[in-house]
A and B are shown apart, each in its own frame.
Chain A
Protein backbone atom coordinates (compact mmCIF):
# COMPACT_ATOMS: atom_id res chain seq x y z
CA UNK A 1 0.00 0.00 0.00
CA UNK A 2 1.45 3.30 -0.94
CA UNK A 3 0.52 6.01 1.49
CA UNK A 4 -0.62 9.18 -0.11
CA UNK A 5 -0.48 12.33 1.92
CA UNK A 6 -3.69 14.23 1.72
CA UNK A 7 -4.54 17.51 3.24
CA UNK A 8 -7.91 16.90 4.85
CA UNK A 9 -10.21 19.62 5.99
CA UNK A 10 -10.79 19.30 9.74
CA UNK A 11 -14.54 19.52 9.31
CA UNK A 12 -14.44 16.31 7.29
CA UNK A 13 -12.28 14.54 9.85
CA UNK A 14 -14.44 15.28 12.84
CA UNK A 15 -17.31 13.08 11.68
CA UNK A 16 -15.10 9.97 11.43
CA UNK A 17 -15.84 7.33 14.01
CA UNK A 18 -12.76 6.18 15.79
CA UNK A 19 -13.93 3.03 17.56
CA UNK A 20 -11.58 0.49 19.05
CA UNK A 21 -13.32 -2.22 17.00
CA UNK A 22 -10.94 -2.30 14.06
CA UNK A 23 -7.90 -2.38 16.31
CA UNK A 24 -9.30 -5.20 18.42
CA UNK A 25 -10.19 -7.09 15.25
CA UNK A 26 -6.70 -6.74 13.82
CA UNK A 27 -5.11 -7.76 17.10
CA UNK A 28 -7.39 -10.81 17.34
CA UNK A 29 -6.42 -11.89 13.82
CA UNK A 30 -2.78 -11.42 14.62
CA UNK A 31 -3.24 -13.41 17.82
CA UNK A 32 -4.70 -16.35 15.86
CA UNK A 33 -1.58 -16.55 13.76
CA UNK A 34 0.63 -16.07 16.80
CA UNK A 35 -1.08 -18.92 18.69
CA UNK A 36 -0.70 -21.24 15.70
CA UNK A 37 3.00 -20.40 15.50
CA UNK A 38 3.38 -20.80 19.25
CA UNK A 39 1.83 -24.27 19.02
CA UNK A 40 4.22 -25.28 16.25
CA UNK A 41 7.26 -24.00 18.13
CA UNK A 42 6.04 -25.70 21.30
CA UNK A 43 5.72 -28.99 19.41
CA UNK A 44 9.17 -28.68 17.84
CA UNK A 45 10.74 -27.58 21.13
CA UNK A 46 9.29 -30.56 23.01
CA UNK A 47 10.47 -32.95 20.29
CA UNK A 48 13.99 -31.52 20.22
CA UNK A 49 14.31 -31.28 23.99
CA UNK A 50 13.04 -34.79 24.71
CA UNK A 51 14.41 -36.33 21.55
CA UNK A 52 18.02 -35.31 22.14
CA UNK A 53 18.17 -37.53 25.25
CA UNK A 54 18.65 -40.65 23.18
CA UNK A 55 19.65 -39.14 19.85
CA UNK A 56 22.88 -41.05 19.43
CA UNK A 57 24.41 -43.47 16.96
CA UNK A 58 22.73 -46.48 18.59
CA UNK A 59 19.44 -45.18 17.26
CA UNK A 60 20.40 -45.97 13.66
CA UNK A 61 22.82 -48.85 14.17
CA UNK A 62 20.83 -51.01 16.60
CA UNK A 63 17.65 -52.97 16.03
CA UNK A 64 14.59 -52.57 18.27
CA UNK A 65 14.71 -54.45 21.54
CA UNK A 66 12.28 -54.93 24.41
CA UNK A 67 15.07 -55.90 26.77
CA UNK A 68 17.66 -53.15 26.30
CA UNK A 69 15.61 -49.99 25.64
CA UNK A 70 18.51 -47.71 26.66
CA UNK A 71 20.80 -48.93 23.87
CA UNK A 72 18.37 -50.25 21.27
CA UNK A 73 17.55 -48.38 18.10
CA UNK A 74 15.23 -48.38 15.14
CA UNK A 75 17.56 -49.60 12.38
CA UNK A 76 15.05 -52.03 10.86
CA UNK A 77 12.38 -49.31 10.83
CA UNK A 78 14.70 -46.76 9.22
CA UNK A 79 15.60 -49.20 6.45
CA UNK A 80 11.93 -50.12 6.13
CA UNK A 81 11.05 -46.45 5.68
CA UNK A 82 13.72 -46.04 2.97
CA UNK A 83 12.51 -49.18 1.16
CA UNK A 84 8.90 -48.04 1.42
CA UNK A 85 9.74 -44.57 0.14
CA UNK A 86 11.58 -45.89 -2.95
CA UNK A 87 8.90 -48.47 -3.74
CA UNK A 88 6.07 -45.99 -3.23
CA UNK A 89 7.83 -43.52 -5.55
CA UNK A 90 8.31 -46.23 -8.19
CA UNK A 91 4.60 -47.06 -8.13
CA UNK A 92 2.95 -43.69 -7.56
CA UNK A 93 5.07 -41.28 -9.59
CA UNK A 94 4.84 -42.89 -13.06
CA UNK A 95 1.12 -43.53 -12.62
CA UNK A 96 0.43 -40.10 -11.19
CA UNK A 97 2.42 -38.21 -13.81
CA UNK A 98 0.88 -40.26 -16.63
CA UNK A 99 -2.62 -39.56 -15.35
CA UNK A 100 -1.82 -35.86 -14.97
CA UNK A 101 -0.43 -35.70 -18.52
CA UNK A 102 -3.56 -37.35 -19.84
CA UNK A 103 -5.89 -35.00 -17.97
CA UNK A 104 -3.94 -31.84 -18.84
CA UNK A 105 -2.67 -32.57 -22.37
CA UNK A 106 -5.03 -35.07 -23.95
CA UNK A 107 -8.40 -35.09 -22.21
CA UNK A 108 -11.38 -33.21 -23.55
CA UNK A 109 -12.93 -31.63 -20.47
CA UNK A 110 -16.40 -31.55 -21.89
CA UNK A 111 -16.63 -35.36 -21.99
CA UNK A 112 -18.45 -36.93 -19.08
CA UNK A 113 -15.85 -39.65 -18.48
CA UNK A 114 -13.06 -37.10 -18.08
CA UNK A 115 -15.18 -35.10 -15.67
CA UNK A 116 -15.91 -38.32 -13.80
CA UNK A 117 -12.16 -38.99 -13.48
CA UNK A 118 -11.59 -35.48 -12.15
CA UNK A 119 -14.40 -35.64 -9.63
CA UNK A 120 -13.16 -39.04 -8.58
CA UNK A 121 -9.62 -37.79 -7.99
CA UNK A 122 -10.94 -34.87 -5.92
CA UNK A 123 -12.85 -37.36 -3.84
CA UNK A 124 -9.97 -39.79 -3.42
CA UNK A 125 -7.77 -36.95 -2.16
CA UNK A 126 -10.09 -36.60 0.84
CA UNK A 127 -10.67 -40.28 1.59
CA UNK A 128 -9.29 -41.11 5.07
CA UNK A 129 -5.88 -42.75 4.86
CA UNK A 130 -6.97 -45.73 6.90
CA UNK A 131 -9.44 -46.66 4.14
CA UNK A 132 -6.49 -47.26 1.78
CA UNK A 133 -5.18 -49.70 4.36
CA UNK A 134 -8.52 -51.54 4.31
CA UNK A 135 -8.48 -51.63 0.50
CA UNK A 136 -4.96 -53.05 0.45
CA UNK A 137 -5.82 -55.53 3.20
CA UNK A 138 -8.85 -56.77 1.28
CA UNK A 139 -7.25 -56.91 -2.18
CA UNK A 140 -3.49 -57.27 -1.86
CA UNK A 141 -2.65 -58.77 1.51
CA UNK A 142 -5.57 -61.18 1.36
CA UNK A 143 -8.15 -61.75 -1.32
CA UNK A 144 -7.27 -61.78 -5.04
CA UNK A 145 -3.51 -61.12 -4.79
CA UNK A 146 -2.79 -62.61 -1.36
CA UNK A 147 0.86 -61.57 -1.19
CA UNK A 148 0.70 -61.29 2.59
CA UNK A 149 1.65 -58.41 4.86
CA UNK A 150 4.91 -57.57 3.09
CA UNK A 151 6.81 -54.48 2.00
CA UNK A 152 5.16 -54.38 -1.42
CA UNK A 153 1.68 -54.33 0.17
CA UNK A 154 2.68 -51.39 2.37
CA UNK A 155 4.09 -49.54 -0.62
CA UNK A 156 0.92 -50.17 -2.64
CA UNK A 157 -1.29 -48.77 0.12
CA UNK A 158 0.86 -45.62 0.41
CA UNK A 159 1.12 -45.25 -3.38
CA UNK A 160 -2.69 -45.32 -3.68
CA UNK A 161 -2.88 -42.82 -0.82
CA UNK A 162 -0.58 -40.25 -2.46
CA UNK A 163 -1.69 -40.88 -6.04
CA UNK A 164 -4.40 -38.16 -5.98
CA UNK A 165 -1.96 -35.67 -4.44
CA UNK A 166 0.66 -36.45 -7.10
CA UNK A 167 -1.91 -36.10 -9.88
CA UNK A 168 -3.23 -32.77 -8.57
CA UNK A 169 0.22 -31.18 -8.07
CA UNK A 170 1.52 -32.48 -11.43
CA UNK A 171 -1.51 -31.06 -13.19
CA UNK A 172 -0.80 -27.68 -11.64
CA UNK A 173 2.82 -27.88 -12.81
CA UNK A 174 1.73 -28.80 -16.35
CA UNK A 175 -0.90 -26.08 -16.40
CA UNK A 176 1.76 -23.48 -15.58
CA UNK A 177 3.56 -24.22 -18.88
CA UNK A 178 2.27 -21.58 -21.31
CA UNK A 179 0.31 -22.81 -24.30
CA UNK A 180 2.62 -20.94 -26.72
CA UNK A 181 5.25 -23.62 -26.08
CA UNK A 182 2.79 -26.30 -27.17
CA UNK A 183 1.54 -24.33 -30.16
CA UNK A 184 5.09 -23.61 -31.29
CA UNK A 185 6.09 -27.24 -31.07
CA UNK A 186 2.96 -28.45 -32.86
CA UNK A 187 3.42 -25.80 -35.56
CA UNK A 188 6.90 -27.16 -36.26
CA UNK A 189 5.35 -30.51 -37.06
CA UNK A 190 5.89 -32.35 -33.78
CA UNK A 191 3.24 -34.85 -32.80
CA UNK A 192 1.30 -34.42 -29.58
CA UNK A 193 3.46 -36.90 -27.71
CA UNK A 194 6.69 -35.33 -29.05
CA UNK A 195 5.39 -31.97 -27.84
CA UNK A 196 4.53 -33.36 -24.43
CA UNK A 197 7.72 -35.37 -23.98
CA UNK A 198 10.27 -32.89 -25.36
CA UNK A 199 8.71 -29.53 -24.50
CA UNK A 200 5.98 -29.61 -21.87
CA UNK A 201 7.36 -32.21 -19.45
CA UNK A 202 10.92 -30.79 -19.31
CA UNK A 203 9.49 -27.34 -18.60
CA UNK A 204 7.30 -28.73 -15.83
CA UNK A 205 10.00 -30.84 -14.14
CA UNK A 206 10.67 -28.45 -11.21
CA UNK A 207 6.98 -28.30 -10.31
CA UNK A 208 6.55 -32.04 -10.69
CA UNK A 209 9.64 -32.76 -8.58
CA UNK A 210 8.51 -30.41 -5.81
CA UNK A 211 5.03 -31.93 -5.70
CA UNK A 212 6.40 -35.46 -5.77
CA UNK A 213 8.80 -34.88 -2.89
CA UNK A 214 6.05 -33.31 -0.77
CA UNK A 215 3.73 -36.23 -1.55
CA UNK A 216 6.45 -38.74 -0.63
CA UNK A 217 7.15 -36.93 2.62
CA UNK A 218 3.48 -37.31 3.42
CA UNK A 219 3.76 -41.03 2.64
CA UNK A 220 6.67 -41.75 4.95
CA UNK A 221 5.03 -39.94 7.85
CA UNK A 222 1.83 -41.91 7.45
CA UNK A 223 1.13 -44.77 9.83
CA UNK A 224 -2.60 -45.49 9.71
CA UNK A 225 -2.85 -47.56 6.50
CA UNK A 226 0.32 -49.47 7.38
CA UNK A 227 -1.21 -50.69 10.65
CA UNK A 228 -3.55 -52.79 8.55
CA UNK A 229 -0.92 -54.18 6.19
CA UNK A 230 1.59 -55.55 8.61
CA UNK A 231 4.00 -52.78 9.60
CA UNK A 232 3.44 -53.24 13.33
CA UNK A 233 5.54 -56.37 13.46
CA UNK A 234 8.49 -56.46 15.81
CA UNK A 235 11.52 -56.96 13.56
CA UNK A 236 15.20 -57.23 14.24
CA UNK A 237 16.37 -57.51 10.64
CA UNK A 238 16.35 -55.20 7.66
CA UNK A 239 14.01 -55.93 4.77
CA UNK A 240 15.85 -57.72 1.96
CA UNK A 241 13.32 -57.55 -0.87
CA UNK A 242 9.83 -56.47 -1.78
CA UNK A 243 8.32 -59.65 -0.30
CA UNK A 244 10.11 -59.23 2.99
CA UNK A 245 8.35 -58.42 6.24
CA UNK A 246 8.92 -54.84 7.35
CA UNK A 247 8.33 -52.08 9.85
CA UNK A 248 8.63 -48.30 9.43
CA UNK A 249 9.42 -45.35 11.69
CA UNK A 250 5.83 -44.09 12.29
CA UNK A 251 4.51 -47.53 13.23
CA UNK A 252 7.60 -48.08 15.38
CA UNK A 253 6.61 -44.94 17.31
CA UNK A 254 3.06 -46.26 17.58
CA UNK A 255 4.22 -49.58 18.99
CA UNK A 256 6.29 -47.75 21.62
CA UNK A 257 3.18 -45.93 22.93
CA UNK A 258 1.97 -48.58 25.40
CA UNK A 259 5.44 -48.91 26.95
CA UNK A 260 5.55 -46.08 29.46
CA UNK A 261 8.96 -46.67 31.03
CA UNK A 262 11.12 -43.60 30.69
CA UNK A 263 13.68 -45.41 28.48
CA UNK A 264 10.99 -46.31 25.97
CA UNK A 265 9.61 -42.77 26.08
CA UNK A 266 13.08 -41.39 25.34
CA UNK A 267 13.52 -43.86 22.51
CA UNK A 268 10.13 -42.87 21.09
CA UNK A 269 11.02 -39.16 21.20
CA UNK A 270 14.38 -39.81 19.55
CA UNK A 271 12.61 -41.76 16.81
CA UNK A 272 10.19 -38.85 16.39
CA UNK A 273 13.14 -36.45 16.14
CA UNK A 274 14.74 -38.70 13.50
CA UNK A 275 11.49 -38.83 11.52
CA UNK A 276 11.01 -35.05 11.77
CA UNK A 277 14.58 -34.44 10.59
CA UNK A 278 14.06 -36.73 7.57
CA UNK A 279 10.81 -34.90 6.76
CA UNK A 280 12.33 -31.43 7.21
CA UNK A 281 15.21 -32.34 4.91
CA UNK A 282 12.75 -33.52 2.26
CA UNK A 283 10.64 -30.37 2.65
CA UNK A 284 13.70 -28.15 2.48
CA UNK A 285 14.76 -29.95 -0.69
CA UNK A 286 11.34 -29.35 -2.19
CA UNK A 287 11.35 -25.66 -1.27
CA UNK A 288 14.91 -25.26 -2.61
CA UNK A 289 13.93 -26.96 -5.88
CA UNK A 290 10.92 -24.71 -6.16
CA UNK A 291 12.91 -21.54 -5.62
CA UNK A 292 15.96 -22.57 -7.65
CA UNK A 293 14.35 -23.96 -10.77
CA UNK A 294 10.95 -22.35 -10.86
CA UNK A 295 10.54 -20.52 -14.13
CA UNK A 296 8.54 -17.38 -14.59
CA UNK A 297 7.08 -17.31 -18.05
Chain B
Protein backbone atom coordinates (compact mmCIF):
# COMPACT_ATOMS: atom_id res chain seq x y z
CA UNK B 1 0.00 0.00 0.00
CA UNK B 2 1.24 3.44 -0.84
CA UNK B 3 2.22 5.65 2.05
CA UNK B 4 3.24 8.71 0.14
CA UNK B 5 1.17 11.81 0.65
CA UNK B 6 -0.28 12.93 -2.59
CA UNK B 7 -0.64 16.54 -3.61
CA UNK B 8 -3.58 17.86 -1.67
CA UNK B 9 -3.27 15.23 1.07
CA UNK B 10 -4.58 15.80 4.51
CA UNK B 11 -2.91 18.84 6.09
CA UNK B 12 -0.81 18.12 9.15
CA UNK B 13 -2.99 18.82 12.12
CA UNK B 14 -3.38 17.28 15.51
CA UNK B 15 -6.10 15.06 16.88
CA UNK B 16 -9.41 15.49 15.21
CA UNK B 17 -10.23 15.76 11.53
CA UNK B 18 -10.67 19.17 10.05
CA UNK B 19 -12.83 20.29 7.20
CA UNK B 20 -11.33 19.70 3.77
CA UNK B 21 -9.69 22.84 2.40
CA UNK B 22 -7.49 21.68 -0.48
CA UNK B 23 -8.38 21.21 -4.14
CA UNK B 24 -10.78 18.36 -5.10
CA UNK B 25 -9.13 14.93 -5.08
CA UNK B 26 -9.54 12.35 -7.80
CA UNK B 27 -10.74 9.19 -6.02
CA UNK B 28 -10.90 6.87 -9.03
CA UNK B 29 -8.43 3.98 -9.16
CA UNK B 30 -4.86 5.12 -9.75
CA UNK B 31 -3.77 1.95 -11.51
CA UNK B 32 -5.74 -0.23 -13.92
CA UNK B 33 -5.47 -3.25 -11.54
CA UNK B 34 -5.12 -5.73 -14.36
CA UNK B 35 -4.46 -8.56 -11.90
CA UNK B 36 -7.78 -7.93 -10.19
CA UNK B 37 -9.59 -8.05 -13.50
CA UNK B 38 -7.92 -11.30 -14.50
CA UNK B 39 -8.85 -12.86 -11.16
CA UNK B 40 -12.44 -11.75 -11.55
CA UNK B 41 -12.53 -13.19 -15.04
CA UNK B 42 -11.23 -16.53 -13.74
CA UNK B 43 -13.88 -16.58 -10.99
CA UNK B 44 -16.63 -15.75 -13.47
CA UNK B 45 -15.34 -18.58 -15.63
CA UNK B 46 -15.61 -21.05 -12.74
CA UNK B 47 -19.17 -19.97 -12.01
CA UNK B 48 -20.14 -20.05 -15.67
CA UNK B 49 -18.80 -23.59 -15.92
CA UNK B 50 -21.86 -24.77 -13.98
CA UNK B 51 -24.07 -23.47 -16.76
CA UNK B 52 -21.77 -25.18 -19.23
CA UNK B 53 -22.34 -28.47 -17.40
CA UNK B 54 -26.09 -28.19 -17.94
CA UNK B 55 -25.53 -27.31 -21.58
CA UNK B 56 -23.14 -30.26 -21.78
CA UNK B 57 -25.73 -32.65 -20.37
CA UNK B 58 -28.31 -31.54 -22.93
CA UNK B 59 -25.74 -31.61 -25.75
CA UNK B 60 -24.38 -35.04 -24.83
CA UNK B 61 -27.92 -36.42 -24.79
CA UNK B 62 -29.06 -34.76 -27.97
CA UNK B 63 -27.18 -36.55 -30.76
CA UNK B 64 -27.62 -40.13 -29.49
CA UNK B 65 -31.29 -39.48 -28.68
CA UNK B 66 -31.85 -38.09 -32.18
CA UNK B 67 -30.19 -41.21 -33.57
CA UNK B 68 -32.39 -43.38 -31.35
CA UNK B 69 -35.57 -41.77 -32.65
CA UNK B 70 -34.61 -42.30 -36.28
CA UNK B 71 -35.06 -46.02 -35.57
CA UNK B 72 -37.85 -45.93 -33.00
CA UNK B 73 -40.94 -43.77 -33.26
CA UNK B 74 -41.72 -41.44 -30.37
CA UNK B 75 -45.17 -42.98 -30.00
CA UNK B 76 -43.81 -46.51 -29.75
CA UNK B 77 -41.25 -45.34 -27.19
CA UNK B 78 -43.66 -43.42 -24.95
CA UNK B 79 -46.71 -45.67 -25.13
CA UNK B 80 -45.35 -49.14 -25.81
CA UNK B 81 -45.79 -51.61 -22.98
CA UNK B 82 -42.90 -53.92 -23.76
CA UNK B 83 -39.18 -53.20 -23.39
CA UNK B 84 -36.75 -55.80 -24.69
CA UNK B 85 -33.74 -53.61 -25.52
CA UNK B 86 -31.12 -56.10 -24.36
CA UNK B 87 -32.68 -59.15 -25.99
CA UNK B 88 -31.79 -60.71 -29.29
CA UNK B 89 -29.12 -59.61 -31.72
CA UNK B 90 -26.96 -56.83 -30.34
CA UNK B 91 -26.85 -54.75 -33.54
CA UNK B 92 -30.38 -55.29 -34.76
CA UNK B 93 -33.02 -52.62 -34.14
CA UNK B 94 -36.00 -54.54 -35.43
CA UNK B 95 -36.16 -57.64 -33.23
CA UNK B 96 -36.76 -55.64 -30.05
CA UNK B 97 -39.67 -53.77 -28.47
CA UNK B 98 -38.96 -50.21 -27.40
CA UNK B 99 -41.94 -49.32 -25.19
CA UNK B 100 -40.63 -47.45 -22.14
CA UNK B 101 -43.80 -47.77 -20.04
CA UNK B 102 -42.69 -50.86 -18.05
CA UNK B 103 -39.56 -49.03 -16.92
CA UNK B 104 -41.53 -45.87 -16.06
CA UNK B 105 -44.22 -47.70 -14.10
CA UNK B 106 -41.59 -49.64 -12.15
CA UNK B 107 -39.80 -46.38 -11.36
CA UNK B 108 -43.03 -44.72 -10.23
CA UNK B 109 -44.08 -47.78 -8.23
CA UNK B 110 -40.81 -47.90 -6.29
CA UNK B 111 -40.91 -44.12 -5.83
CA UNK B 112 -44.43 -44.41 -4.43
CA UNK B 113 -43.40 -47.14 -1.98
CA UNK B 114 -40.41 -45.08 -0.87
CA UNK B 115 -42.67 -42.05 -0.30
CA UNK B 116 -45.06 -44.12 1.81
CA UNK B 117 -42.06 -44.76 4.07
CA UNK B 118 -40.23 -41.45 3.80
CA UNK B 119 -43.06 -38.93 4.14
CA UNK B 120 -44.59 -40.06 7.45
CA UNK B 121 -41.29 -40.98 9.09
CA UNK B 122 -39.43 -37.99 7.69
CA UNK B 123 -42.17 -35.52 8.63
CA UNK B 124 -42.68 -37.10 12.04
CA UNK B 125 -39.00 -36.85 12.80
CA UNK B 126 -38.87 -33.28 11.48
CA UNK B 127 -41.84 -32.17 13.60
CA UNK B 128 -40.38 -33.86 16.65
CA UNK B 129 -36.95 -32.28 16.17
CA UNK B 130 -38.33 -28.84 15.39
CA UNK B 131 -41.23 -28.56 17.85
CA UNK B 132 -40.71 -31.06 20.66
CA UNK B 133 -37.05 -31.92 21.08
CA UNK B 134 -34.70 -30.05 23.38
CA UNK B 135 -31.47 -28.58 22.08
CA UNK B 136 -29.57 -31.57 23.45
CA UNK B 137 -31.79 -34.17 21.78
CA UNK B 138 -31.49 -32.29 18.50
CA UNK B 139 -27.70 -32.34 18.78
CA UNK B 140 -27.77 -36.13 19.11
CA UNK B 141 -30.26 -36.92 16.36
CA UNK B 142 -29.13 -34.59 13.59
CA UNK B 143 -25.80 -36.45 13.10
CA UNK B 144 -27.78 -39.71 12.99
CA UNK B 145 -29.79 -38.36 10.07
CA UNK B 146 -26.52 -37.24 8.46
CA UNK B 147 -25.05 -40.74 8.78
CA UNK B 148 -28.23 -42.22 7.29
CA UNK B 149 -27.77 -39.87 4.32
CA UNK B 150 -24.08 -40.73 4.07
CA UNK B 151 -24.43 -44.50 3.67
CA UNK B 152 -23.55 -45.28 0.02
CA UNK B 153 -26.56 -46.36 -2.02
CA UNK B 154 -24.75 -49.44 -3.28
CA UNK B 155 -24.64 -50.58 0.36
CA UNK B 156 -28.39 -49.98 0.74
CA UNK B 157 -28.98 -51.96 -2.44
CA UNK B 158 -26.90 -54.86 -1.24
CA UNK B 159 -28.74 -54.90 2.10
CA UNK B 160 -32.11 -54.76 0.37
CA UNK B 161 -31.19 -57.78 -1.71
CA UNK B 162 -29.47 -59.93 0.90
CA UNK B 163 -31.22 -58.93 4.15
CA UNK B 164 -34.53 -57.12 3.65
CA UNK B 165 -35.91 -59.29 0.84
CA UNK B 166 -35.25 -62.57 2.73
CA UNK B 167 -36.99 -61.06 5.79
CA UNK B 168 -40.03 -59.92 3.77
CA UNK B 169 -40.20 -63.06 1.67
CA UNK B 170 -42.16 -65.29 4.10
CA UNK B 171 -44.18 -62.32 5.43
CA UNK B 172 -45.49 -61.11 2.08
CA UNK B 173 -45.01 -64.12 -0.13
CA UNK B 174 -42.48 -62.70 -2.56
CA UNK B 175 -41.55 -65.09 -5.33
CA UNK B 176 -37.95 -65.05 -6.48
CA UNK B 177 -35.13 -62.93 -5.15
CA UNK B 178 -36.23 -59.60 -6.64
CA UNK B 179 -39.15 -57.40 -5.70
CA UNK B 180 -40.16 -53.76 -5.91
CA UNK B 181 -41.26 -53.44 -2.31
CA UNK B 182 -37.91 -54.23 -0.73
CA UNK B 183 -35.83 -51.63 -2.63
CA UNK B 184 -38.78 -49.24 -2.22
CA UNK B 185 -38.71 -49.50 1.57
CA UNK B 186 -34.94 -49.17 1.76
CA UNK B 187 -35.03 -46.21 -0.63
CA UNK B 188 -37.66 -44.66 1.62
CA UNK B 189 -35.20 -44.68 4.51
CA UNK B 190 -32.53 -43.35 2.17
CA UNK B 191 -34.61 -40.25 1.39
CA UNK B 192 -35.83 -39.75 4.98
CA UNK B 193 -32.88 -37.41 5.74
CA UNK B 194 -33.68 -35.26 2.69
CA UNK B 195 -37.34 -34.91 3.66
CA UNK B 196 -36.63 -34.54 7.38
CA UNK B 197 -33.85 -31.97 7.31
CA UNK B 198 -35.48 -29.74 4.67
CA UNK B 199 -38.87 -29.75 6.36
CA UNK B 200 -37.27 -29.18 9.74
CA UNK B 201 -35.54 -26.11 8.28
CA UNK B 202 -38.92 -24.93 6.99
CA UNK B 203 -40.60 -25.38 10.38
CA UNK B 204 -37.74 -23.83 12.33
CA UNK B 205 -38.06 -20.77 10.11
CA UNK B 206 -41.63 -20.18 11.31
CA UNK B 207 -41.31 -17.29 13.75
CA UNK B 208 -41.74 -17.91 17.45
CA UNK B 209 -44.38 -15.19 17.64
CA UNK B 210 -46.86 -17.37 15.73
CA UNK B 211 -46.41 -20.19 18.26
CA UNK B 212 -46.68 -17.80 21.18
CA UNK B 213 -49.86 -16.36 19.72
CA UNK B 214 -51.31 -19.82 19.39
CA UNK B 215 -50.39 -20.77 22.95
CA UNK B 216 -51.84 -17.50 24.20
CA UNK B 217 -55.16 -18.44 22.64
CA UNK B 218 -55.15 -21.62 24.66
CA UNK B 219 -53.92 -24.14 22.10
CA UNK B 220 -51.75 -26.99 23.29
CA UNK B 221 -48.54 -28.04 21.60
CA UNK B 222 -50.18 -30.49 19.20
CA UNK B 223 -52.78 -27.94 18.08
CA UNK B 224 -50.06 -25.33 17.65
CA UNK B 225 -47.96 -27.71 15.60
CA UNK B 226 -50.74 -29.04 13.40
CA UNK B 227 -52.78 -25.87 12.91
CA UNK B 228 -50.18 -23.10 13.01
CA UNK B 229 -46.62 -24.27 12.38
CA UNK B 230 -47.41 -26.96 9.81
CA UNK B 231 -49.53 -24.74 7.52
CA UNK B 232 -47.04 -21.90 7.82
CA UNK B 233 -44.20 -24.19 6.73
CA UNK B 234 -46.24 -26.09 4.14
CA UNK B 235 -44.46 -24.74 1.06
CA UNK B 236 -41.08 -25.76 2.43
CA UNK B 237 -42.41 -29.16 3.42
CA UNK B 238 -43.92 -29.77 -0.02
CA UNK B 239 -40.64 -28.71 -1.61
CA UNK B 240 -38.81 -31.20 0.61
CA UNK B 241 -41.13 -34.01 -0.44
CA UNK B 242 -40.83 -33.04 -4.10
CA UNK B 243 -37.04 -33.10 -3.82
CA UNK B 244 -37.37 -36.52 -2.20
CA UNK B 245 -39.41 -37.72 -5.20
CA UNK B 246 -36.74 -36.46 -7.54
CA UNK B 247 -34.04 -38.31 -5.61
CA UNK B 248 -36.10 -41.50 -5.57
CA UNK B 249 -36.68 -41.39 -9.33
CA UNK B 250 -33.00 -40.83 -10.03
CA UNK B 251 -31.64 -43.34 -7.53
CA UNK B 252 -29.76 -46.04 -9.37
CA UNK B 253 -27.84 -48.55 -7.29
CA UNK B 254 -30.61 -49.71 -4.94
CA UNK B 255 -32.97 -50.59 -7.78
CA UNK B 256 -30.22 -51.93 -10.03
CA UNK B 257 -29.28 -54.44 -7.33
CA UNK B 258 -32.56 -55.33 -5.63
CA UNK B 259 -35.35 -54.76 -8.17
CA UNK B 260 -34.06 -57.13 -10.80
CA UNK B 261 -33.27 -56.82 -14.49
CA UNK B 262 -36.57 -57.90 -16.01
CA UNK B 263 -38.69 -55.10 -17.48
CA UNK B 264 -42.20 -55.97 -16.40
CA UNK B 265 -45.40 -54.01 -16.96
CA UNK B 266 -47.06 -54.65 -13.64
CA UNK B 267 -48.50 -52.87 -10.62
CA UNK B 268 -47.71 -55.72 -8.23
CA UNK B 269 -45.04 -54.51 -5.78
CA UNK B 270 -44.16 -58.06 -4.84
CA UNK B 271 -42.75 -58.71 -8.30
CA UNK B 272 -39.34 -57.53 -9.39
CA UNK B 273 -39.28 -55.09 -12.30
CA UNK B 274 -36.52 -53.09 -13.92
CA UNK B 275 -36.64 -49.30 -13.54
CA UNK B 276 -35.29 -46.61 -15.85
CA UNK B 277 -32.10 -46.20 -13.84
CA UNK B 278 -31.89 -49.95 -13.47
CA UNK B 279 -31.79 -50.30 -17.25
CA UNK B 280 -29.07 -47.63 -17.52
CA UNK B 281 -26.97 -49.48 -14.94
CA UNK B 282 -27.48 -52.84 -16.62
CA UNK B 283 -26.75 -51.54 -20.11
CA UNK B 284 -23.69 -49.65 -18.85
CA UNK B 285 -22.14 -52.45 -16.83
CA UNK B 286 -22.85 -55.10 -19.41
CA UNK B 287 -21.57 -55.47 -22.92
CA UNK B 288 -22.96 -52.47 -24.78
CA UNK B 289 -20.81 -51.65 -27.82
CA UNK B 290 -20.67 -48.07 -29.05
CA UNK B 291 -23.24 -47.62 -31.80
CA UNK B 292 -25.45 -50.54 -30.85
CA UNK B 293 -29.19 -50.02 -30.28
CA UNK B 294 -28.88 -50.50 -26.53
CA UNK B 295 -26.15 -47.84 -26.43
CA UNK B 296 -28.57 -45.31 -27.93
CA UNK B 297 -31.41 -46.58 -25.74
CA UNK B 298 -29.25 -45.79 -22.71
CA UNK B 299 -29.11 -42.15 -23.78
CA UNK B 300 -32.83 -42.06 -24.58
CA UNK B 301 -33.70 -43.32 -21.09
CA UNK B 302 -31.17 -40.88 -19.63
CA UNK B 303 -32.86 -38.02 -21.47
CA UNK B 304 -36.29 -39.05 -20.22
CA UNK B 305 -34.93 -39.28 -16.68
CA UNK B 306 -33.26 -35.89 -16.97
CA UNK B 307 -36.44 -34.23 -18.23
CA UNK B 308 -38.56 -35.82 -15.50
CA UNK B 309 -36.25 -34.80 -12.66
CA UNK B 310 -35.71 -31.35 -14.17
CA UNK B 311 -39.47 -30.70 -14.22
CA UNK B 312 -39.83 -31.94 -10.66
CA UNK B 313 -36.90 -29.80 -9.45
CA UNK B 314 -38.30 -26.72 -11.14
CA UNK B 315 -41.65 -27.32 -9.41
CA UNK B 316 -39.83 -27.61 -6.08
CA UNK B 317 -37.83 -24.41 -6.61
CA UNK B 318 -40.91 -22.53 -7.80
CA UNK B 319 -42.93 -23.69 -4.78
CA UNK B 320 -40.31 -22.45 -2.37
CA UNK B 321 -39.99 -19.10 -4.13
CA UNK B 322 -43.67 -18.50 -4.73
CA UNK B 323 -45.04 -19.34 -1.34
CA UNK B 324 -42.11 -18.31 0.79
CA UNK B 325 -43.51 -16.19 3.59
CA UNK B 326 -41.38 -13.21 4.40
CA UNK B 327 -41.64 -13.12 8.17
Contacts and interface: CB of A to CB of B under 8 A. Distances in A.
Contacts of A64: none
Interface of B: 1, 33, 35-36, 39-40, 42-51, 53-54, 56-57, 59-61, 63-64, 120-125, 127-129, 132, 141, 143-148, 150-159, 161-163, 189, 192, 196, 220-223, 225-226, 243, 246-247, 249-253, 256-257, 277, 280-281, 284-285, 290, 298-299, 302, 305-306, 309-310, 313-314, 316-317
Contacts of A228: 280, 284, 298
A272 B302 CA distance: 28
Report whether over half of chain A's contact residues are helix, strand or loop; otherwise say mixed.
helix
B298 A134 contact: yes
Interface of A: 21-22, 25-26, 28-33, 35-37, 39-40, 43, 46-47, 94-96, 98-99, 101-103, 106-107, 116-117, 119-124, 126-135, 137-139, 142-143, 160, 163-164, 167, 188-193, 214, 217-218, 221-224, 227-228, 232, 250-251, 253-255, 257, 265, 268, 272, 275-276, 279-280, 283, 287
A98 B42 contact: yes
Contacts, number: 246
A33 B246 CA distance: 23
Nearest to B261: A258
Contacts of B50: 99, 117, 120-121, 124, 163-164, 167
Given A43-B151, A126-B247, A130-B252, A106 B125 contact: no
Contacts of B122: 32
Contacts of A142: 290
Nearest to B129: A33
Contacts of A190: 1
A29 B299 contact: no
A29 B151 CA distance: 24
Contacts of B306: 127-128, 131
B43 A22 contact: no
By CB atoms of chain B within 10 A, which of A22, A101, A130, A191 has the most? A130
Contacts of A43: 151, 155-156, 159
Contact of A40 (B49, B147, B298): B147
A114 B166 CA distance: 51
A122 B312 CA distance: 12
